[in-house]
Amino acid sequence: MKRFKVTIESELIVELDESQFSEEWLAHFKRYFYDVEDDCSEADTPLQGHAANLATQELQGVIQGNFLEGYGNISDMGIHIGDPDVWVSRIEEDAPE
């Protein structure tokens, strides 16, 4: 059997209503969920961290309908996530197990 390691890259637009992400809300999320800035090395601000988190959750199929744990109804939070653009960036044959 032939094994392949396929690297997929994607890009999507995440829009956030920054007025919904108050200091109080950000502190609550960090306390009861996790620090999204620590989770994403590319994030320089809490909003960037949440944008990265939301994009990852969308691509992994975690967002069910309009709800995401920690955010609630994402439309009510002023969150809009665009459709992803996905492409194959690399294929390696005989990938290790």
DSSP count for the chain of H helices, then E strands: 3, 6
pLDDT at 72: 94
Residue 60 has pLDDT above 90, yes or no: yes
Q: What is the pLDDT of residues 38-51, one digit of tens each?
A: 777 888 899 999 99
Q: Is there a contact between 52 and 40 (Cβ–Cβ < 8 Å)?
A: yes
Q: What is the pLDDT of residues 1-45, one digit of tens each?
A: 889 999 999 999 999 999 999 999 999 999 999 888 777 788 889
Full residue range of the structural domain in which residue 42 is found? 4-93
pTM over 0.75: yes
Number of structural domains found in the chain: 1
Residue 64 Ramachandran class (φ > 0 left, ψ -120 to 50 alpha, else beta) = beta
**Burial of 54 (C-beta count, 10 Å sphere; 0-12/13-18/19+):** buried
User: Could you tell me how many residues make up the chain?
Assistant: 97
